[in-house]
Amino acid sequence: MSAQREMKEKNPWPTPVTIIIIIVIGVIAIVALVTVAVLQNKSVPQKYKYGIVLDAGSSHTALYIYQWPAEKDNNTGRVEQTHSCKVKGKGISSYASEPWKAGESLKECMGEAENTVPKERAHETPLYLGATAGMRLLDIVNSSASKKVFQAVEKALQNSPFSYQGARILSGQEEGAFGWVTVNYLDDRLKQGLKTTGALDLGGASTQISFISDNFDGSESPINSVNFRLYGNDYNLYTHSFLCYGKDQVLKMVLANQTQSGATTVLDPCFHSGYNETKNYSVLYDSPCVSGRKAQEAPEKFDHIGKGNFQECQKAVKSVFNFTFCKHSRCSFNGVFQPPLQGPFGAFSAYYFVMNFLNLTDTSMPLETVKEKLSQYCGTSWDKIKRQHPTVNVKYLAEYCFSGTYILTLLTEGYNFTAETYSNIKFIKKIKGSDAGWTLGYMLNLTNMIPAEAPDSPPLPHAGYVSIVTLMTILLVGLLLFVALRIFWPRCSKKTQIV
Ligand SMILES: Nc1ccn([C@@H]2O[C@H](COP(=O)(O)OP(=O)(O)OP(=O)(O)O)[C@@H](O)[C@H]2O)c(=O)n1
Ligand SMILES: [Ca+2]
């Protein structure tokens, strides 16, 4: 017995208690390790960078603020719209005769931007202004007025705390292409190399169509071709912008066509019966889009009287499209090349405003039914329409019959959507919280936020990495314990047995 006690004293461990303590400590160590690893990655408060784009459209200006995580400039699907502000009043091109007011008009929204972007980030936040068809038209008729408007706008923006990067007129091609980039970026289609969505943008003074077609390589009409390499994929985009085919300019053109005799009264099928407004010929002719349609001798004013007839309105609208010449293999209208339509399309801005108001955004509805509903709407009296929509701006309200008719005519007769392909169109306003439009694509391009090549990604996602490290640690500790037990436990028990 005394020899046995002596043995035990010479080999004081490992006793079962010691082993249990080692295991418990091991497990606690692993849990602590994993917890720290996970928390380390989660608890860091997210820091953001910001970018601001002003969309100086023909009918109004809007300001958009985008944000993205500060440490990941290059990752897709991460830039999102965090704030938008609609500038009060009309577009900057309407201030041609008093340019300083164009600068003034932006101040309220710039104030909102200062309240949205954290102060310490302001100086590094790029600020861009892009003007579209309204300024394109002003530049055509009065380029010195257009320069003065830009000077006024520049002055207002240079005085902001942001990093002002310039104001310029976008080409129609850029406007179409960046709208397409926005839609496909927000849908996460670019980084994943998925089939893309076409973009249809309808403004007040121009309209854009952009899509990828397998039958288009740019050779037949290079001016309609834009090439991109994004995330390692090549895109050959077809895009066209029709200047004067925004809905405000088309309205002028249709009205000018109906008043070419210089009549004092116009019976307009695109306006509701009971609608009766006296209008100035000078306002109708104030755009280069109607200059070829002017009446030889017109009185000062005319009475614009509604008739409310969809079929006749369609005819009147069709008169502004020219289908008679095409020097390419195929055309949309006005001799402009267009490859066969392909894939789904997102239709935004005025397409959405109008179709949403008319309750016609559901494109699974047969095209014939859409036309019947619009026909019914156009046939409703102006009095009833006003009573049904007491809160809607009367100027917009008066034009929805015309606008709906123009949209359907443009899509079907102009771009060649059929009863079958109409359902490929989706009328959209926002995608994942960001407005569809050219502004986001424009900023992504100017800040080089979309790389040409696919970024190198770690072989494992974070969660996978943590799981594997945890598993390996558990295995390793288990193995060590097993070895320890094999070494100490049998020797200990053997010695006890021998004695
Ligand atoms: N709730 C609304 C808001 C706007 N509109 C109409 O939509 C058109 C303006 O569309 P928008 O996309 O804002 O055009 P802009 O960007 O101003 O013009 P552009 O792109 O041609 O420069 C105008 O005819 C305006 O009357 C509308 O019908 N209903
Ligand atoms: Ca626009």
261, 122: one domain: no
Choosing from 130, 152, 169, the residue where a domain stops is: 169
28, 57: one domain: no
The verdict on whether residue 437 carries a ligand-binding annotation is: no
Choosing from 149, 169, 189, the residue where a domain stops is: 169
With 0-12 / 13-18 / 19 or more C-beta atoms within 10 angstroms meaning exposed / middle / buried, residue 355 is buried
Amino acid at 113: A
Nearest to 437 by CA among 150, 106, 49, 86: 86
Q: What is the pLDDT of residues 236-250, one digit of tens each?
A: 999 999 999 999 999
Rounded alpha-carbon distances, angstroms, from residue 328 to 205, 238, 273, 339, 400: 26, 14, 42, 10, 34
| Tokens linked to 108 | 């309220």
Q: Residue 420 is part of a domain; what is its CATH number? A: 3.30.420.150
Check residue 459 and give its pLDDT.
61
Choosing from 117, 142, 169, the residue where a domain stops is: 169
443, 53 in Cβ contact below 8 A?
yes
16, 148: one domain: no
How many angstroms does the Cα of residue 138 sit away from the middle of ligand 2?
15
Nearest CA to ligand 1 atom 16: 57
175 is catalytic: yes
How many angstroms does the Cα of residue 288 sit away from the middle of ligand 2?
18
End-to-end alpha-carbon separation of the chain, Å?
8
472, 394: one domain: no
Ligand 1 pocket at CB < 6 A: 57-60, 91, 132-134, 203-206, 246-248, 349-350, 353-354, 396
Nearest to 383 by CA among 305, 307, 273: 273
151, 295: one domain: no
446, 14 in Cβ contact below 8 A?
no
- How many domains does the chain fold into? 3
Distance in angstroms (rounded) separating the CA atoms of residues 254 and 228: 37
Distance in angstroms (rounded) separating the CA atoms of residues 82 and 99: 30
Check residue 397 and give its pLDDT.
98
Catalytic residue among 80, 175, 399, 420: 175
Name residues of the chain where pLDDT drops below 50: 1, 3, 7-8, 493, 495-499
Q: Residue 149 is part of a domain; what is its CATH number? A: 3.30.420.40
In the DSSP assignment, the letter for residue 12 is: -
**Bridge partners (DSSP) listed for residue 303:** 265, 278
369, 476: one domain: no
The verdict on whether residue 208 carries a ligand-binding annotation is: yes
The continuous run of DSSP H or E covering 100 comes out as helix 100-105
245, 377: one domain: yes
227, 367: one domain: yes
327, 388: one domain: yes
196, 239 in Cβ contact below 8 A?
no
Q: What is the pTM of this model?
A: 0.87
Check residue 4 and give its pLDDT.
52
Check residue 11 and give its pLDDT.
56
176, 324: one domain: yes
132, 207: one domain: no
The verdict on whether residue 206 carries a ligand-binding annotation is: yes
Distance in angstroms (rounded) separating the CA atoms of residues 114 and 122: 8
33, 85: one domain: no
Distance in angstroms (rounded) separating the CA atoms of residues 379 and 375: 6
How many angstroms does the Cα of residue 353 sit away from the middle of ligand 2?
12
Bridging pattern class, strands 198-202 and 206-212: antiparallel
Determine if residue 85 is left, alpha or beta; phi over 0 gives left, psi from -120 to 50 gives alpha, anything else beta: beta
In the DSSP assignment, the letter for residue 433 is: T
Q: Domain range spanning residue 307?
A: 172-455
Distance in angstroms (rounded) separating the CA atoms of residues 179 and 183: 6
